[in-house]
Chain A
């Protein structure tokens, strides 16, 4: 069975997801020692050419798989430290991961997830068709996590985190992704049943519902990927020094920032602009 990693990236006018995917893909390729494929739309691919990153992308990625450009998009307020703006983003294609992946066993990661260790390699042999993270861990502590980071709603189910998903091409995994597609198509109905706010489509919610239902309407706490260690978009990736990422972590109680460094640990960096600002250094790290 061949194994590999896939990353979705569809640029928006404000965020260069393709560059983030190159960074994320480079690090995953280095630290997991596996091929990485990019799934992107034609417009983003064109931008890679315009921005002079196409050759780099072709060097990093095993395959570049193109999909149609999504005409609909979500919006959310994204912070970059203390500053913020409303950012459009596209996230409706994740359910296509099963059909688009060129691998028998696939690790799907977000473009803002930086693989800095080989920890995820321990999970390839787990006898489960779909593995997903059940927890998000804030690098600061639990106090910055909200209720809706743990549950999809007040009375609803536990939240799984679609930041990292591992799946094997199998009937069960196919059903899982088909079901996600169905949830996406009937999102309003599911919001009634699972009592979540329908303001924007969230892959985490669709994946959580699919996992919950396929597991028999329970929360599986046994066969899951490790928690997603996260720095929020209020935090800033300040520098990259050798194999260390240096963050300025926001302390909301005092409105101060404090420094923190991290190495050899996978990390979900929600402040996308700070990844882009340090793309060159992160790529150096991947090539070092």
Chain B
């Protein structure tokens, strides 16, 4: 591909969870599955020295060290931080399992900005449970997910959208009081900020129409349509990554992007499997 496209992963290492490891596993999985020209990965990290602990830091084509003030969400600056003309910003706790490159061509051709409004259970059903999305329902926000955000640099809609996302993130109380007064979430997270920005700008339909991609399997426990309520999905179903990089969750083979959510799920053994696949390819 001759287009300047790449994936962007933004992490903050000041956490009890090992986000460096998650970003590394995601980058490995992208390198293992995507076609040439569709697998560049840029990592934005607050402390570059954390990469000394990983075996193949070269899976990140570019590493940008960026320290933002405490409490600021770097992801709201994704449009400013990306080195690419066309970018998909991903949450770190995800894995790619198959080649989805053809969809990137679609986005590049058709979209300035695309934010998905669907996610899937590990059984392949569209998530319909609003357990974690009460603020969206009560305040009639578009059901946006920031875990896979595509945009084209230097477009007006992108500038307007992310500027407002930053304002919302900087002044959550002010925006909540006005726009989320039917139900205030404890934290105005990136998803809420995205949804609110899209709603205020009136661009929901422009940036988030129905598409068969991305299909992201969202492993939050209470959206799996189970009888048993649980926050931790992997207390209920197994996570089996074999030596070929094929992933089964419970009884289901996974083919879509998996957002495993459980921040301690990817241990050294799984990383070593993904490394082996890359080194032998």
Binding site for B on A (CB under 8 A): 147, 151, 154-158, 193-194, 212, 216-219, 221
Contacts and interface: CB of A to CB of B under 8 A. Distances in A.
B237 A155 contact: yes
B257 to A, nearest CB: 15
Contacts of B250: 155-156
A157 B226 CA distance: 11
B137 to A, nearest CB: 20
Given A212-B251, A218-B252, A219-B124, 6 more contacts: A154-B228, A155-B224, A155-B250, A157-B251, A158-B123, A218-B124
Nearest to B246: A217
Given A217-B248, A219-B124, A155 B253 contact: no
A156 B251 contact: yes
A208 to B, nearest CB: 10
Interface string B214-252: 000000000010111000000011000000000010111
B236 A218 contact: no
A194 B251 CA distance: 7
A77 to B, nearest CB: 22
B182 interface: no
Contacts of B35: none
A219 B123 contact: yes
Interface in B244-281: 248, 250-253, 255
A217 B226 contact: no
Given A212-B251, A218-B253, A155 B226 contact: yes
A154 B255 contact: no
Contacts of A158: 123
A151 B123 CA distance: 10
Contacts of A221: 124
Most chain B CB atoms below 10 A, which of A154, A157, A194, A221: A154
Nearest to B252: A217
Contacts of A219: 123-124, 252
B16 to A, nearest CB: 28
A147 B251 contact: no
Most chain A CB atoms below 10 A, which of B226, B252, B255: B252
A155 B224 CA distance: 8
Nearest to A220: B124
A158 B124 CA distance: 10
B226 A193 contact: no
A194 B248 CA distance: 13
B208 to A, nearest CB: 23
A38 B121 CA distance: 41
A194 B252 CA distance: 10
A112 B251 CA distance: 31
A217 B227 contact: no
12 contacts: A147-B227, A154-B226, A154-B236, A155-B236, A155-B237, A155-B250, A155-B251, A212-B251, A216-B253, A217-B248, A218-B124, A218-B255
B227 A154 contact: yes
Contacts of B236: 154-155
B70 to A, nearest CB: 40
A217 B251 CA distance: 7
A154 B233 CA distance: 12
A221 to B, nearest CB: 8
A185 to B, nearest CB: 19
Contacts of A155: 224, 226, 236-237, 250-251
Nearest to B248: A217
Nearest to B225: A151
A156 B249 CA distance: 11
Contacts of B227: 147, 154
B228 A157 contact: no
Contacts of A217: 248, 251-253
Contacts of B226: 154-155
A96 to B, nearest CB: 26
B220 to A, nearest CB: 15
A137 to B, nearest CB: 17
Nearest to B227: A154
A147 to B, nearest CB: 6
- Kindly list the 6 A-B residue pairs having the minimum CB-CB distance in the complex, ordered from nearest: A217-B253, A154-B227, A157-B251, A155-B236, A155-B237, A154-B226
Contacts of B253: 216-218
A187 to B, nearest CB: 16
A113 B227 CA distance: 30
Contacts of B251: 155-157, 193-194, 212, 217
A197 to B, nearest CB: 13
Contacts of B224: 155
A147 B248 CA distance: 23
Contacts of A212: 251
Given A216-B253, A217-B253, A218-B255, A157 B248 contact: no
Contacts of B124: 218-219, 221
Contacts of B255: 218
B251 to A, nearest CB: 5
Contacts of A147: 227
